[in-house]
Every structure is written in structure tokens, then in C-alpha cells.
Amino acid sequence: MDESRLRGVLRNNIDTIEERIRAACARAGRSRSDVTLVAVTKSAPDEAVCLLPELGLNHLGENRPQQLWRKAALLPSTVHWHLIGHLQRNKIEQTLPLVELIHSGDRLSLLDSLEVAAQKQGQRIDVLVEVNTSGEASKNGFAPAEVPGLSDVFNSLLFVRLGGLMTMAALVEDAEKCRPSFALLRDLRDRLTRTLTDQHVLHHLSMGMSNDFEVAIEEGATLVRIGTALFAGLAE
């Protein structure tokens, strides 16, 4: 696909997604500015990813740290990178300087390692606590029942700033079935907020992907992670 057609397909997909985001915000009585679209680039060709900033998408998400490192070198420094996938501790040092937000704070050992690395690098890092609201064994994250009891541990972090919670709902055809997972995450965020120090301000709910982002927005999502719908039609 030549660049002109590629740009056209992306522009059409972005416009369609934007219309759906605006409609979901309207249904929920929310402002469009409350929701940030994070373009998930993991399966997209580099030539498509490199067009995103000029098409107005500056928040990009990657699942794998190595791919984030590589793509960050290709794109302008104005891009805000989000790590949305599992982070191994041996990848932390190289990842921290490149990312604005880590969505996958899925275990205490990782938060401890991020704390040590951020202190060593003399920076603070914003992290979301990943919660397995669907209860699926295949998913990472804290169990919902254990999150409220971790406030003392979270409050002990000085270089890691918790900015909210993240979840992945079950992959189902009917997005309405995802609503309980999203509502649970919002409830956990509200409960946890009351027990954290001022350093940790839980602005964000990272929830909703291509198949369910409208329901997630209706339940309070501030970050929606969209890849499949954004890059649809590129192989045609």
C-alpha cells in the first residue's frame, strides 16, 4: 500500500474511532477531553506507526519493551510512549527514560524494582496498578480483593507515583458483558484513593480496547488502548 492510500485508511479509521469516543462520552455526560486515545502499535507496520503523529495521535502504546525502544528511535520526541504490556525487571533500566506511563504495574516485586531503578536514575515514574478484574488465569495483575489492603505498601513508594488503575476485560463478542469488570475497577480506584498519600493521585482508569472501549468510557475510562480498529484495512 502506497503512503497516500495508507494515510487515507488511517485517517478514516481515526475519524470513525473519534466519532465513537465522542458518542460514548456524550452518553456518559463526560467531556471528550476526559479520554485519551492510546494507539497500540504492536501489530502495525512501521510505515503506519510513523504517520500517527502527523495524523494527530501522539500517545502510543507498546506491549513489548524491545519494540518500544526500537519505535521510540524512529519517531519524534513529541510522542508520549505508554508501556502497556508485561515488564520484566531486566528491561526496566532501558525503558524508564522513554516512557511517560507504565500501565502494567502487575506485581509488588515489579513496583519495588521500579522504585529502585527510578531512584538510581534520579527520576519519578508514573505507574498504573494492573488489576485482574475478569478473574481469568491467563491475565496478569492483582486480584481485586487484595488491592484495598495494599495501601500501606503503595504509600511507601517514593519514586514510583501511582496514577490510577488498569485492567483488561474478558474478550467477548458482547461488550456489555465487560461492564462489570470496568465498574469494579472504578470502584477500586475510588476506594483506594481515600487511603493513599498525596503523592499518589489516581486520575486514570486505563480500560477498554477495540472491542469494548465505548462501554469502558461509559464506566469512567480515561485511557483507551486501541490497536485493531485503528489499523484495520491496512492489509487489503
Neighbours of 186 (CB within 10 A): 17
pLDDT tens digits along 91-112: 999 999 999 999 999 999 999 9
pLDDT value, residue 236: 56
Closest listed residue to residue 128, CA positions, set 100, 153, 156: 100
pLDDT tens digits along 100-153: 999 999 999 999 999 999 999 999 999 999 999 998 988 999 999 999 999 999
pLDDT value, residue 130: 98
Sign of CA dihedral 218, 219, 225, 228: negative
Q: What's the average model confidence in pLDDT over 186-210? A: 97
pLDDT tens digits along 51-105: 999 999 999 999 999 999 999 999 999 999 999 999 999 999 999 999 999 999 9
Instruction: Annotate 130-149 with three-state secondary structure.
Output: EECCCCCCCCCCECHHHCHH
Question: Which residues are CB-contacts of 71 (< 8 A; sequence separation ≥ 6)?
Answer: 41, 46, 49, 60, 62
Burial group, residue 98, by CB count within 10 angstroms (0-12, 13-18, 19+): middle
**Strand ranges, E, within the chain:** 36-40, 59-62, 80-83, 99-105, 125-130, 160-166, 204-206, 223-226
Express as a percent the part of the chain with pLDDT over 90. 94
pLDDT value, residue 2: 86
What Rg, from alpha-carbon coordinates, does the chain have?
Answer: 17
Q: Which of the four CATH numbers 3.20.20.10, 3.30.70.360, 1.10.3720.10, 3.90.25.10 does domain 3-226 have? A: 3.20.20.10
- pTM for the whole structure: 0.96
Q: What's the average model confidence in pLDDT over 179-197? A: 97
Question: Domain limits of the chain?
Answer: 3-226
